[in-house]
Amino acid sequence: MDEGQIIIKAIALLAAGLAMGLGAIGPGIGEGFAAGKACESLGRRPDEANLITRTMLIGQAVSETTGIYALVIALILIFVV
Amino acid sequence: MTSYLIVKLCSVLGAGLAIGLGAIGSAVGEGFIAMKALQALGRQPKASGPLLRTMLIGQAVTETAAIFALVIALVLLFQTPDASVSWIKGVTFIAAGIAIGFGTIGSGLGAGLPGGAACEGIGKNPKNTDVLSLHMLIAQAVTQTATIFSLTVSLILIMSTPEPTLTAAFALLGAGCAIGFGAIGPGIGDGLVAYNANRAVAKNPKHMALLTRTMLIGQAVTETTDIYAMVVSLMLIFVV
């Protein structure tokens, strides 16, 4: 590898860390919101536990997607670039 | 400049980052608990005993995140590298400081939220003190996982002795950023789940078992992004 390629590789590794690190902030808070409100409505309607848990998991899965995008980009930056 | 001097400078900088950033979350979280306790005290002055107890227990658990940061800061301050040390060791110290410094912000804030909710609930009905403080402790324990991941990664970074190349230096900094920033969101998210669950327990204490179960499922899913961040940072340390 010449010097330019080494620098690109090095910066790509730092970028992978930043991508995953900053990318994990949003999904973490978003999923917390979903589960928090699910607990709140469960406290009000305990009979609907199954429905509420199912909907909570679907909502969390959707807000997880951006975290998975960040993971994919981080892995590409580590192994492909 | 000798590489010994560089490593020593980096260890001091890393210690500053660790405790400076690491104190933010716990301090705000503890303030939130105290605020809710004072509000509750205004409503129920007779419940001052249980309120003070719950506030102090909650604040003590919230403090753990900052104590982890303090431990790492002290470990970094008392590093005595030998004369033949490589400059890359300094990069590991800065990365460790970033990892634990940013990594404690989320857990500190997150552990404060259920503590505040428990004090609020006791203010509404002091009879629920036992149920609420038990629920608060379970919830706070889970919120600390984000910090524990950061602590693990930063200890690994401090112990590691990689090859002194440019690529390794940036990979280590990337590892610190990944787990450091990555732990902020899940920490706050876990706290939000716990906050709402604790308020629901206060309204309906007899459904404590169901609510705790759902809260743990929700927190486990919230934790996944933190696990991705840890996997990426371990990959950056060991694979690259």
Statement: residue A2 has pLDDT above 90: no
pLDDT at B100: 96
Domains, in order of start, for chain B? 3-238 (1.20.120.610)
Mean pLDDT by 10 residues, chain B (240 residues): 87 94 95 95 92 95 95 92 87 96 95 96 93 94 95 94 91 95 95 96 92 94 94 92
Distances (CA, A) of B134 to B82, B128, B162: 49, 10, 44
Amino acid letter for position B191: G
Quick one: angle between helices B184-203 and B208-238, nearest 10? 170
Question: Which residues from B are below 8 Å from A30, CB to CB?
Answer: 189
Nearest-angstrom CA–CA distance, A78 and B173? 13
Please answer yes or no on whether B193 and A7 come within 8 Å at the CB atom: no
**Which of A13, A24, A33 comes nearest B192 by C-beta?**
A33
Helix (H) or strand (E) holding B217: helix B208-238
> Which residue in the block uniquely carries the two structure tokens 């300094």?
B90
List the end-to-end C-alpha distance of chain A, in Å, as a whole number. Answer: 13
Which positions in chain A touch B190 (Cβ < 8 Å)?
28, 32
- What's residue B1's pLDDT? 66
Which of A17, A27, A57 is the closest to B173 by Cβ? A17
Residues 17-56 of A with CB under 8 A from B: 17-18, 20-40, 42-44, 46, 49, 52-53, 56
- Complex-level ipTM: 0.90
In 10 A of CB B130, how many CB atoms?
11
The owner of tokens 């431990």 is B71
Which among B149, B56, B135, B72 has a CA at the least distance from the CA of B107? B149
Q: What is the pLDDT of residue A41?
A: 93
Number of other residues whose CB lies within 10 A of the CB of residue A58: 10
